[in-house]
Amino acid sequence: MKTTFITTFIIIGIQMVAQQDPQYSQYMFNRVLINPAYIGSKDVPSITLLSRKEWVNVSGAPQTNNFSFSTPIQSNKMGIGGHLVQETIGPKNWLTGYVDYCYRIKLARGIFSFGVSAGAVAYNFNTSKLDLYDKNEPTLQTNSVTQAVRFDMSAGIYYYTRSFYLGISATHLTSPKLFETNSRSGSPTKFYDLNQHIFLTLGKGFLVNDGLIFNPSLMIKSVTGKNINTDVNANFLIKNKVIFGISLRSSYNLVGLIQYHIQDKFRIGYSYDYGFRGISKISSGSHEISLSFDFTAKKSKITTTRLL
C-alpha cells in the first residue's frame, strides 16, 4: 500500500529534524538499545526481543523489531553482547547490527561502567512506495531505490547501585550519511543523515513495603543538542511478579505498561501509547511487546529495583 500524503509528511518531512532513533516505551527494561555501558549489568546472560507498531491505522507508520543479547565476562569486570534493530517507515527500511562492549569498575557503593558499540546500518529507500501530494517534488526521483551500508558507533557511561542508576550515552557518533539527492538546480541537497542522539537516564527504587517497590525514572533525549524530549515514568513492582507503570512524554504522549514475571528467568511486557495531538485523530495509538529471558537467573536479594 502506498504511503499517503499525511504519512509521508510526518515520517519524511518532520523526521529530518526530529528524533530518528526508534521510540521505545519499555526502554527501562533493556537500556542496551540506547546505552552500551548497560551491557552485562544484570550479572547473568540475558536476551530480549521487542516489537513495536506505531500509529495503528496509519498507512506507512513505523514498525520496529529488535533483538539484544548481553552477558558479563571476566568475573563481571566486563560485559559483551550485541543487538539488531529492523525498522520500516513507509518507503524507508533499515537493518542495523552492533557489537557491544563495556568495562566495569566496582566503587564503594556501586558500579561504574563505560561502553562502546560498533556496527553497520543497512538502509533502503524505495520512492515507488510514495504517493506525493506534490507530484513535482524537486528533491525526490520517483520509482527509484536508494541503498546504502554505513559504519556506525555509539558510546556511553553508566553508574548504578542496588537502588539507583544514572546513564549518559550518545548514538550515531559517526553521523552516517544514508541518502543524498540533487535538486532541479543541480546543487546537492542532503535528504537523510543519522544525527547524533544524546540520552540521559535516571532512576531510583523505593521500598514501600515487603510487597511493593516504587521506581520513578526519567529520560531526557536530544538530537544534536536540539529537539529535547523528556519521559517521566512511574513504575510499581508488586510482589516481585508484576510491574505496572505509567509514563508521560513531553511530545504529548501518555504510556501505560505492564510486565509480568512468569518465572525468575522469563518476563513478558506490553505497553500502549496514546497521543494527545493531531495523530490521535487518525490513529488508535501504538503497541509494544517485549520478551526477556535470563539464562542463569538467581534469586534476587535486592530489596529495591533498577528494572534492569
| pLDDT for res 9 | 40
Q: Reduced to 3 DSSP states, what percent helix, strand and coil does the chain have, rounded to the nearest 5?
A: 10, 55, 35
Place of cell 526502554: 27
Give the model's pLDDT for residue 65: 96
Mean pLDDT score, 262-275: 90
Residue 301 falls inside a structural domain: no
Measure the CA dihedral 159/161/164/166, to 10°. Answer: 0
Inside any domain, residue 305: no
Least confident of 52-56, 148-152, 256-260: 52-56
143/145 Cα distance (integer angstroms): 7
Instruction: Work out the pLDDT band at 1, boundaries 50, 70, 90.
Output: very low
For residue 37, what is the enclosing H or E element? Answer: none
What's the chain's average pLDDT?
82
Establish if 99 belongs to a structural domain.
Answer: yes
| Count: domains in the chain | 1
Q: Is residue 14 scored above 50 in pLDDT?
A: no
| φ, ψ dihedrals at 287, nearest 5° | -120, 145
Q: How far, in Å, CA of 158 to CA of 168, rounded?
A: 7
> How large is the average pLDDT for residues 12-29?
69
Whether 256 and 285 have beta carbons less than 8 Å apart is answered as no
Helix, strand or coil, per DSSP, at residue 243: strand
Quote the pTM value.
0.83
- 25 in any annotated domain: yes
> What's the N-to-C CA distance of the chain in angstroms?
39
Is residue 57 situated within a structural domain? yes
Domain residues for the domain of 87 are 5-294
Judged against a pLDDT cut of 60, whether residue 58 lies above it is answered with: yes
pLDDT value at position 300? 45
Q: Report the alpha-carbon distance of residue 26 to residue 268 in Å, rounded.
A: 11
Which pLDDT score, from 0 to 100, does residue 56 have? 80
More confident of the two residues 298 and 89: 89
Please state the rounded mean pLDDT for residues 71-95: 91
**DSSP symbols for 42-106:** TSS-EEEEEEEE-STT-TT--EEEEEEEEEEETTTTEEEEEEEEEEEETTEEEEEEEEEEEEEEE
Select the more confidently predicted residue: 219 or 134: 219
CATH code, 104: 2.40.160.40
Q: Give residue 225's pLDDT band: very low, low, confident or very high (50, 70, 90).
A: low
Give domain status of residue 302, yes or no.
no
Q: Are 259 and 267 in contact (CB under 8 A)?
A: yes
Q: If pLDDT is split at 50, 70 and 90, which confidence band does 270 have?
A: very high
Of 63-67, 169-173, 299-303, the least confident: 299-303
String of DSSP letters for 125-159? EEGGGB--SSTT-TT--TT-EEEEEEEEEEEEEEE
What is the C-alpha to C-alpha distance for residues 43 and 73, in angstroms, rounded to an integer? 9
pLDDT (tens digit, 9 = 90+) per residue, 124-144? 887 666 665 555 555 555 555
Q: Is residue 299 part of a domain?
A: no
Average pLDDT (262-286) is 81
Question: How far is 122 from 216, CA to CA, in rounded Å?
Answer: 36
What's the mean pLDDT in 245-249? 95
Q: Cβ(114)–Cβ(160) under 8 Å? A: no
Q: What local confidence, expressed as pLDDT, does residue 284 receive?
A: 72
Burial class (CB in 10 A: 0-12, 13-18, 19+), 12: buried
Is residue 46 predicted with pLDDT exceeding 90? yes
Say how many residues make up the chain: 308
Residue 213 forms part of a structural domain = yes
Residue of higher predicted confidence among 76 and 8: 76
Summarised one tens digit per residue, pLDDT across range 196-208 is 999 999 999 999 9
15 pLDDT exceeds 90?
no
